[in-house]
Amino acid sequence: MSMIKLQDNAQITRAHFTSFFSYFVIESVIDGNTQGEAFVDRLDHPQITIVWDTKYSINCGGSADKDVLKKAVEFIKSDILTDDVRQDRGIVKIMYENKEWEQALLESVQGFNYDVYPRSVYRHELEHIPSIQCKDEEITIKKLDEELVNNNKLKNHEGLIEELTQMWGSVESFLSKGFGYCAIKNDSIAAWCTGEYFSKAWCGIGIETYEEYQRQGIAAAATIEILKHCRDLGKIPHWDCWKNNIPSVKTAEKAGFEKLMDYEIIFLKFY
């Protein structure tokens, strides 16, 4: 089966992506804030949709019979996971909406180096945002404005730029559309927290705390600033992390996020 690439991601069928871990991501692709390529089995009333972010993630939605799904998975292997992608990315995550997709995918990846890993997704309704302070009084939480983003003299600056580029396509795109906060100590970036996967009503949150600054409440303090910004914009934030990433889970819960669900993904490794 030859999947058809949509020329306009606004045509993605929303009903194919209704899980708590996918709808806010897909809405961002539809709105043009997150890069993605969408493929359907047919243009007239498609049964299934595959959304590839062109980097590390594939979302599989919709329902169809076993033969259609089998051919769709073969398309993923041959047309998305090309030799160049496998060599360049090293890893790819595959998310799926239902058991039918799961079965088709797992049957097809036999022979690959893969694992099935659990993740958790949380949401914050912004009705109560706690007050959290860093334990280290030398830490300053600053908004990620143009001056800070372009200050390449800061230690760990490269990691921040890599994140902004990966999620927004470019630093310029982030500065024009996105927002985030950074924890600074002396001349070092201790942590950053950014909004990502923007749509009209929702957004996701990306966060990183460098090892030497962990367990000091820095990530939680930066998250609180993001939550305030989301409240001002009327965007409901989501938090998605590995289920066994205890520091991330604790930060989410400390900031007042509530778990929506656990789910599993297929994690492909090409090394």
Mean pLDDT by 10 residues, the chain (271 residues): 92 98 97 96 97 96 96 96 94 97 94 95 97 89 96 95 92 94 95 95 95 91 96 97 95 97 97 87
Which residue in 12, 44, 41, 42 sits closest to 28, CA to CA?
Answer: 12
Tokens representing 19 are: 């899980």
Query: Domains along the chain?
Result: 4-108 (3.40.630), 140-260 (3.40.630.30)
Report how far residue 84's alpha carbon sits from residue 70's, in angstroms, rounded to the nearest whole number.
Answer: 23
- Predicted pLDDT at 133: 86
Note the pTM of the prediction, 2 decimals: 0.94
Torsion of CA 21, 43, 85, 156, to 10 degrees: -40
- Predicted pLDDT at 1: 60
Other C-beta atoms lying within 10 Å of the C-beta of residue 202? 18
- Predicted pLDDT at 134: 87
3-class state of residue 237 by DSSP:
strand
What is the length of the chain? 271
Which residue type, as a one-letter code, is found at position 258?
E
Other C-beta atoms lying within 10 Å of the C-beta of residue 253? 14
